[in-house]
Amino acid sequence: GESVGLHLPTLSVQEGDNSIINCAYSNSASDYFIWYKQESGKGPQFIIDIRSNMDKRQGQRVTVLLNKTVKHLSLQIAATQPGDSAVYFCAENPRVNTDKLIFGTGTRLQVFP
Amino acid sequence: GAVVSQHPSWVICKSGTSVKIECRSLDFQATTMFWYRQFPKQSLMLMATSNEGSKATYEQGVEKDKFLINHASLTLSTLTVTSAHPEDSSFYICSARDVQRAYEQYFGPGTRLTVT
């Protein structure tokens, strides 16, 4: 069935280092992917998105990479800061002409000094 | 811009009672809103898609008679948990899609429901 999963449930990094959060998706027809950040007790916050016709997109301190061959998505955070500590979810839009998003299982990012 | 609010932010109710949660798009119009449920340390699970002026579309396994959704205007959708039980305790999150911007969804801050 359709699923979006993550390789690492928890990622601990030192402040200032770069973070890489990975996500695998199963539906090759998915055409839109988003990364969200969720802090405790809050709703998801949009970070960055990418369409299937791209393989890389950069934002402020964040980069999303899409490898359609192996159905893999990653989020790179440069110079990780304590404020980046949260749970990160990838989400995919699994079919054309639908607004539905399927969320991955999430990765907790812990930043220590 | 693109702010979505939810009310209440948290609610405690007794088993057997009903609870209504509101989701509002504050500065944009949303023909489509989505309702998610999130249990502790788990991901968001889509419950239903709410379309303005029409019946909601429920995901498989979600009881439509238990989770009543109404999307009466372009800025408001409500989720009513009827005859709530302790297992309905969860974090309920809504999102809204801006009619002006394809694909993008904006999430509300969530509502923590505790059923005693």
Give the pLDDT confidence score for residue A95 in this predicted structure. Answer: 66
The helix (run of H) or strand (run of E) holding residue B74 is none
Asked if B44 and A44 come within 8 Å (Cβ–Cβ), the reply is yes
Give the pLDDT confidence score for residue A94 in this predicted structure. Answer: 78
In chain B (116 residues long), the average pLDDT of successive 10-residue segments reads 92 97 93 93 92 90 95 93 97 89 84 98
B32 contact residues in A (CB cutoff 8 A): 99
Sheet architecture: strand order including A72-77 = A4-5, A19-25, A72-77, A62-67, A56-58
pLDDT in tens, A55-91: 999 999 999 999 999 999 999 999 999 999 999 999 9
A45, A49, A99: residue with CB nearest B32: A99
Dist. CA B76–CA B96, nearest whole Å: 10
Instruction: Average the pLDDT over A1-22 and give the result.
Output: 77
Give the pLDDT confidence score for residue A92 in this predicted structure. Answer: 92
Exposure string (b/e) for A3-36, b if CB count within 10 Å is 16 or more?
Answer: ebebeeeebebeeeeebebbbbbebeebebbbbb
By CA distance, what is B90's nearest residue in A?
A: A41
Asked whether residue A7 carries a pLDDT value surpassing 50, the answer given is no
Asked whether residue A26 carries a pLDDT value surpassing 70, the answer given is yes
Asked whether residue A2 carries a pLDDT value surpassing 90, the answer given is no
Place of tokens 């990418």: A50
Dist. CA A60–CA B81, nearest whole Å: 40
A100 contact residues in B (CB cutoff 8 A): 34, 46, 49
pLDDT in tens, B62-82: 999 999 999 989 999 999 999
- In 3D space, the residue among A77, A59, A74 whose CA is nearest the CA of residue A25 turns out to be A74
Give the pLDDT confidence score for residue A4 in this predicted structure. Answer: 55
Asked if B107 and A36 come within 8 Å (Cβ–Cβ), the reply is yes
Dist. CA B108–CA B25, nearest whole Å: 9
How many percent of chain A have pLDDT more than 90? 73
Give the pLDDT confidence score for residue A74 in this predicted structure. Answer: 97
Q: Which two tokens stand for residue A52?
A: 């299937």
Shortest CA gap A7–chain B (Å): 14
Give the pLDDT confidence score for residue A28 in this predicted structure. Answer: 87
Instruction: Average the pLDDT over A20-40 and give the result.
Output: 92
Shortest CA gap A91–chain B (Å): 10
Instruction: Average the pLDDT over A23-44 and give the result.
Output: 92
Q: Across-strand partners of B93?
A: B36
Shortest CA gap A64–chain B (Å): 16
